[in-house]
């Protein structure tokens, strides 16, 4: 990247040659509609995916994704697992919830299909244990009875959805897609916030002060006057800010600063 071509006009890119690494930094809205920053779905290559396919497009998939099926009935467990596989998601099936709590923290996206009436185990209690862990996967309860009180309790405790047996294939596919999509969106947003905060944290106190003024639309001359520094000194600060944040416009500085502040 050539960082030596600095131009003087504040309303133009600081680099005369746009570095490829900044192609994600120019906007802050993802194809799925949420505000994130420098995500793969915001790259030029993501245009190959059809409109509306995010967050189920492969570009949105995390490296640690799993759909867990916890069902004591072997036939139903195998049937649900087969549906998950046909949807293209990795799946792990258990007959009880003993093992799932140990492996959950390894995964960042996916979902959990949890039978609420497991032998010797209460699905509601399992949900509470999952909620206390560091797991972030949506829980879809599956039940053979429609206990309204239990359903309300589970939903208030954060359950993503509640399916009653026998589960229709269309309903099952729909809720799995929705839950995995939600987990991907949440994970993407967390990664974006962490990235923005780490990049802002890389600035020195002076650079941070200048970046705040750039974000408010202050031109170099006004920033120099406010700081009691020369315009050339401010331009050097601008150059370092743009390099550290991997951006090439004042608008992008404003975007990433706002994103870090709102995280």
Domain locations in the chain? Answer: 20-54+202-262, 61-190
Question: pLDDT-based confidence at 50, cuts 50/70/90?
Answer: low
Interstrand relation of 121-122 and 117-118 (parallel, antiparallel or unpaired)? antiparallel
Q: Is the pLDDT of residue 143 over 90?
A: no
Listed residue (53, 73, 93) closest to 184, CA to CA: 53
Q: Specify the pLDDT at position 5.
A: 34
- State pTM to two decimals: 0.79
Q: Specify the pLDDT at position 99.
A: 84
- Per the listing, tokens 């994704």 go with 65
Residue range 61-190, CATH number: 3.40.50.2300
Q: Specify the pLDDT at position 227.
A: 95
Are the C-beta atoms of residues 142 and 116 closer than 8 Å to each other?
yes
Listed residue (82, 129, 122, 121) closest to 104, CA to CA: 129
Task: Give 253's contacts (C-beta < 8 A, 6+ positions apart).
Answer: 211, 214, 215, 241, 242, 245, 247
Question: pLDDT-based confidence at 6, cuts 50/70/90?
Answer: very low
Give the best-scoring range by mean pLDDT among 98-102, 137-141, 188-192: 137-141
Q: Specify the pLDDT at position 49.
A: 57
Q: What average pLDDT is seen over the chain? A: 83
Are the C-beta atoms of residues 183 and 90 closer than 8 Å to each other?
no
Host H or E run for residue 112: strand 109-115
> Can you name the residues that pair with 68 across neighbouring β-strands?
92, 112
Question: pLDDT-based confidence at 47, cuts 50/70/90?
Answer: low
Q: Specify the pLDDT at position 229.
A: 94
Host H or E run for residue 97: none
Give me the mean pLDDT over the 12-32 stretch. Answer: 52
- Tokens in use for 63? 């490296």
Give me the mean pLDDT over the 6-11 stretch. Answer: 36
Q: Specify the pLDDT at position 51.
A: 54
Give me the mean pLDDT over the 17-22 stretch. Answer: 41
* pLDDT tens for each residue of 183-207: 999 999 999 889 889 999 999 999 9
Q: Specify the pLDDT at position 52.
A: 58
Report percent pLDDT > 70 for the chain: 86
* pLDDT tens for each residue of 114-129: 998 888 888 888 888 8
| N residues, the chain | 263
Q: Specify the pLDDT at position 4.
A: 34
Q: What is the largest CA-CA distance in the chain?
A: 75
* pLDDT tens for each residue of 222-240: 999 999 999 999 999 999 9
**CB neighbourhood size of 232 (10 A):** 12
Separation between Cα atoms, residue 167 and residue 143, nearest integer Å: 9
Listed residue (2, 108, 5, 122) closest to 60, CA to CA: 108
Indicate if the alpha-carbon torsion angle 229, 234, 236, 237 is positive or negative. positive
Are the C-beta atoms of residues 162 and 150 closer than 8 Å to each other?
no
> Can you name the residues that pair with 141 across neighbouring β-strands?
114, 162
Give me the mean pLDDT over the 123-144 stretch. Answer: 86
Q: Specify the pLDDT at position 20.
A: 47
Under CATH, which architecture does the 20-54+202-262 domain have?
Answer: Orthogonal Bundle (1.10)
């Amino acid at each position: 990247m050539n960082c030596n071509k600095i131009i003087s006009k504040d309303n133009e890119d600081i680099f005369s040659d746009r570095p490829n690494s900044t192609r994600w930094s120019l906007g802050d809205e993802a194809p799925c509609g949420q505000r994130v920053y420098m995500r793969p779905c915001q790259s030029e290559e993501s245009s190959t995916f059809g409109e509306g396919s995010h967050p189920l497009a492969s570009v949105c998939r995390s490296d640690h994704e799993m759909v867990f099926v916890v069902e004591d009935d072997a036939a139903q467990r195998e049937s649900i697992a087969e549906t998950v596989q046909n949807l293209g998601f990795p799946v792990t099936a258990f007959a009880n919830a003993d093992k799932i709590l140990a492996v959950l923290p390894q995964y960042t996206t996916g979902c959990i299909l949890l039978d609420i009436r497991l032998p010797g185990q209460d699905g509601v209690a399992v949900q509470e244990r999952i909620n206390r862990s560091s797991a972030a996967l949506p829980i879809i309860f599956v039940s053979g009875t429609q206990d309204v009180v239990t359903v309300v309790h589970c939903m208030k405790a954060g359950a993503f959805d509640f399916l009653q047996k026998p589960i229709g294939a269309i309903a099952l596919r729909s809720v799995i897609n929705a839950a995995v999509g939600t987990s991907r969106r949440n994970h993407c947003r967390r990664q974006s916030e962490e990235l923005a905060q780490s990049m802002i944290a890389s600035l020195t106190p002076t650079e941070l002060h200048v970046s705040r003024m750039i974000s408010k639309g202050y031109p170099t001359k006004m920033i120099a006057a406010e700081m009691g520094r020369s315009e050339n000194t401010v331009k050097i600060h601008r150059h370092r800010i743009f390099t550290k944040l991997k951006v090439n416009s004042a608008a992008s500085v404003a975007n990433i600063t706002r994103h870090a502040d709102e995280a």
